Amino acid sequence: MILTHFLAISRKELYHIVRDPGTLLLVTIGPVFLMVVFTYTLTSEVRNAPVAVIDQAKNTASRDLIEQMDTSEVIAITDRLDTPGEANDLFDRNQIVAAVIIPEDYGTIKADGTMSPVDGIIDGTEPVSAQAVIDEISYIAQADAEKIYVEALGEDATNFVRPPITIDEEVLYNPELDNLFDFYPGLVGMMLGLPAIALAMAVAREAEHGKLEQLVATPIKKRALLLGKMAPYVGFGMLDVYLLLVMGRLAYDVPFEGSILAYTLVAILFLVANLGLGLLIAVFIRSQQVAMLVAILVFFIPPFFMSGIFFPIDAMPWIVREEMNAFPATSFVAISRPLFLQGTGLQHLWESTAILALLAIGYLELAVFAFRKKVIIDLPNPFHRVEKAETDAVSQRSVEGAAQ
């Protein structure tokens, strides 16, 4: 009986999604589009950052150094100036992000056995690019200085300039340390907020149109109703998951190392938890616009800042970390990054998996508990101001409905 109801509601909801182009786009192409936007805005590598060179030495050593800088992919020499003062204006106009000043005596070892190093001025306005440019310039200048020392003083000089402890580096899972790899599995979770927003809006729309009131007359149980509404969105959500997986592989070369079965299980748990939360929102808010705004606030803002996708959460106070566990995205990020990139088995990630399962059941039950089939639209929709008489009539009707 419940199963028939569930299937009937799911089918009806599926028709709704497929026939409304807006919703259909939101749950199919939406996450993919959003992923492109996010990966683009957040992880673009620093390439050809404009740099000015002030060559005060004008000798072979300095020309050599400039040539080295020219071959770099991170920076590009765009201006050659005579005095450091000329750089100020270029900095103000955003024409350059760094200026490299090569001192007059560059290339000659002084009496005390040292050489004047290169000076660099960096525009720190954009810290992430600035750091990359600082690293690149230091690296090139350091390597060039080492070469000059060795040429002037022979092999002994390496003692002085070569890092005294060699670091033999081994990077697992992401050899280039590409931040996109780091962010991608978590971003997949964030994109899955879209189906939840669509669900919250769909339920709110029905409430707004008074359709939920018609259900009062039917024998459908609340659980079957809510589960039936959720089911198609879980289906579309899984479609998005696989789409994003394939896109990560093909477009961004993000490797998937884990077990697809385990990942599917986690994704379903996450979707159910997220959609349950969406239902909970919709149960309390019965206007589409408000539901949308609240859903955006719930599904995008906390995951972005506090789920550990971009900003590490280890350093957060424990109380905040515990609170963030209430958002399904937090556990999903904690599971999916190792599962996705490192192939870690679920047995090592059981803690977060358990939390996710708990949230999935919890939010759904909470939504079922809070959902009243007797729908009372007392809150006037603040966007669409109903005439006074009309509001009265509605509340009159709902009072009658409740009385029955």
Within residues 114-133, the interface with other proteins by CB under 8 A covers: 114-115, 117-131
> How far from 258 is each of 178, 210, 351, CA to CA, in Å?
19, 46, 18
Q: What is the DSSP string of 25-93?
A: HHHTHHHHHHHHHHHHHHHPPP-SEEEEEEESS-SHHHHHHHHHHHH-SSEEEEEEESSTHHHHHHHHT
- Taking the least distance from each CB to other proteins, the nearer of 97 and 357 is 97
Calculated CA dihedral for residues 278, 281, 283, 285, nearest 10 degrees? -130
Near other proteins by CB under 8 A: residue from 94, 108, 218, 396? 94
Q: Is 169 in the site for other proteins (CB under 8 A)?
A: yes
Close Cβ partners of 192 (under 8 Å, ≥ 6 residues apart): 31, 237, 240, 241, 267, 270, 271, 274
* Minimum separation from the CB atom of position 291 to other proteins (A): 10
* Minimum separation from the CB atom of position 307 to other proteins (A): 11
Near other proteins by CB under 8 A: residue from 190, 338, 364, 371? 338
Q: Is 175 in the site for other proteins (CB under 8 A)?
A: yes
Near other proteins by CB under 8 A: residue from 314, 388, 403, 404? 314
Near other proteins by CB under 8 A: residue from 16, 68, 81, 91? 91
> How far from 98 is each of 50, 58, 131, 173, CA to CA, in Å?
7, 19, 11, 33
* Minimum separation from the CB atom of position 296 to other proteins (A): 8
- Taking the least distance from each CB to other proteins, the nearer of 217 and 389 is 389
* Minimum separation from the CB atom of position 180 to other proteins (A): 8
* From 218-226, 231-239, 334-342, 365-373, span contacting other proteins (CB under 8 A): 334-342
**Radius of gyration, CA atoms only, the chain:** 30
183-202 footprint of other proteins as x/- string (CB under 8 A): --------------------
Return the residue matching tokens 């006074």.
388
The enclosing H or E element of 98 equals strand 98-102
Near other proteins by CB under 8 A: residue from 13, 55, 182, 206? 182
* From 187-195, 209-217, 269-277, 287-295, span contacting other proteins (CB under 8 A): 287-295
- Taking the least distance from each CB to other proteins, the nearer of 149 and 233 is 149
Near other proteins by CB under 8 A: residue from 1, 3, 37, 217? 37
At 285 the three-state DSSP class reads coil
d(CA 371, CA 377): 13
* Minimum separation from the CB atom of position 91 to other proteins (A): 7
**By the 8 A CB rule, do 113 and 66 touch?**
no
The site for other proteins, by CB under 8 A, has a size of 96
C-alpha closest to that of 77 among 103, 106, 98: 98
> How far from 83 is each of 88, 194, 233, 371, 392, CA to CA, in Å?
10, 54, 63, 72, 78
Near other proteins by CB under 8 A: residue from 18, 297, 399, 402? 297
* From 12-20, 89-97, 230-238, 265-273, span contacting other proteins (CB under 8 A): 89-97
